[in-house]
Amino acid sequence: MMEGLKHNWQIVKYNGLKIYYLPALDGGGRDFVHDYQKLVKQLFGKVDKVCEFASGCGFIGFSLLASGLCQKLCLIDVNPQAIKCCIKTIKSNGLKNVTAYVCDVFDKIPKDAKWDLVVGNPPHFNGTLKEYQRNKILIDPGWRIHKEFYKGISRFLSNKGSVLLVENFKGSSPKIWQKIINKNHLSFVKTILPKRNFLQKFKEIIRIIYSLKWQDFKNAFSFYKTRQRKIKNYKILTQMFSPHYYVWSKKNI
């Protein structure tokens, strides 16, 4: 158990599976669980092996496992504390079909690892190294993490393997990923915009507001002031209030 944090465990359940996490390590993965369950079922059905990249506490991967949408699960994150949370979930639920690795992109992954589907909620915003050191959950400096991910993922995908990552319009454009994907032995399939009903949007907004700190509000206001002059059409306005999108790519055969 993590020293100094042993009394802070929080639990969320998916189909009876108890997922242990610490609030400080929650990078928002819970917000995308419903989307991923729906998209994986629609696009792929049930798959054998899933990897959650930049997993944090593993909300997305564990929820797919609990829903019967995969048979085996691998969790990857650069933060040792996040992987300790994953291991806590694995041991507490007696899971024999889940592995977890502390690694920078893929540097500690066994060379013979193969996955049918890779999902994940990676850092959504470009930034400086200084900003990255302050917030590794949000910042990917120079898109270094994304570039190394797409450069290396092909060798870990099965012949029909796919990648489905969630991104954010406020931090990136799908054109960025399309260019990187097509350079790295992968095929860009499409961008997917999740559908939200009013209740889902309301719950998501309330949960996000509840988790924010005062500095986050100041940063958001500053961001709005610099971006509002660039709003030219309804599409961009919509993206501001429903900012997340999914990027689907797959291995070239």
Query: How far apart (Å, rounded) are the C-alpha atoms in residues 156 and 50?
Result: 11
Structural tokens at position 196: 């939200």
Q: Above 90 in pLDDT, residue 49?
A: yes
How high is the pLDDT of residue 27? 85
Long-range CB pairs of 204-213 (<8 Å, 24+ gap) are 204/31, 207/30, 207/31, 208/28, 208/31, 211/23, 211/26
pLDDT at 91 exceeding the cut of 90: yes
Question: What element of type H or E holds 239?
Answer: helix 234-241
The label of the residue with tokens 């689907």 reads 248
Instruction: Indicate the pLDDT class of residue 26, thresholds 50, 70 and 90.
Output: confident
- The reported pLDDT for the residue numbered 124 is 95
pLDDT at 5: 47
The pLDDT assigned to 149 comes to 98
- Its pTM stands at 0.82
- Name the helix (H) or strand (E) containing 77: strand 70-77
The arithmetic mean of pLDDT across residues 159-171, rounded, is: 94
* Range in 64-73, 131-140, 223-232 with the lowest mean pLDDT: 223-232
DSSP characters for 129-198? Answer: HHHHHH-TTTB-GGGHHHHHHHHHGGGGEEEEEEEEEEEETTT--HHHHHHHHHTTTEEEEEEEPPP--H
Q: Is the pLDDT of residue 248 over 80?
A: yes
**Domains of the chain (ranges, CATH numbers):** 27-251 (3.40.50.150)
Residues 209 and 216: their CA atoms lie apart, in Å, by: 9
Q: What is the pLDDT of residues 168-178, one digit of tens each?
A: 998 999 999 99
Beta-bridged to residue 157, according to DSSP, are 115
Return the pLDDT at 94: 97
> Which has more pLDDT, 88 or 239?
88
Q: Residue range 40-69: average pLDDT? A: 97
179-212 pLDDT, tens digit each: 999 999 899 999 999 876 556 556 655 655 555 5
* Residue 239 predicted with pLDDT over 70: no
- pLDDT-derived band at 20 (thresholds 50, 70, 90) equals very high
